[in-house]
Amino acid sequence: MAEYVTFWFGPRPWGPALQDENEEGLPRVRTKEIPAPIGELCLGCDEAIQEGDYGELVVLGGGTQAAPTAELRPLHRECGLLRGVGHEVGLCNCTNYEGLSLREAAIECDRRWRRRGAFGRYFLRN
Ligand SMILES: [Zn+2]
Ligand SMILES: [Zn+2]
């Protein structure tokens, strides 16, 4: 039987955000661990997924309205965070990512966001 799932890969250091139950113990989203798609390019940073990286699969939509296409692509967890909150921690187009590569900026974004103690809250909100 089909079900809604989120596919994730790699170690899982992001705390409660993607767990199968919310604070009230109710199902939030079913998650399924998959082997890390080593060598596939991350949708955020365009770098190959490596051993030890973690993230999830997201849908890359394309095609036309009459003939839409959908492709599952890996996204580093930090790269997803960078897109969501990069501006708030000074890592975005406004600052040209402080001269860092997108991957470096994503890892730095994760570090700054964790320092705020807000990492889990962001994902719980979404
Ligand atoms: Zn990435
Ligand atoms: Zn900005």
pLDDT (tens digit per residue) in 26-42: 555 667 788 999 999 99
Rounded distance from Cα 42 to ligand 1 centre (Å): 5
pLDDT tens for residues 10-29? 886 554 444 555 566 655 56
Look at residue 73 in the predicted model and tell me its pLDDT.
Answer: 96
Taking the CA of 101 as reference, the closest ligand is: 1
What is the radius of gyration, based on Cα positions, of the chain?
Answer: 15
Tokens of 32: 């399924």
Taking the CA of 98 as reference, the closest ligand is: 2
pTM equals: 0.78
Give the closest residue to 121 by CA, choosing from 10, 9, 22.
22
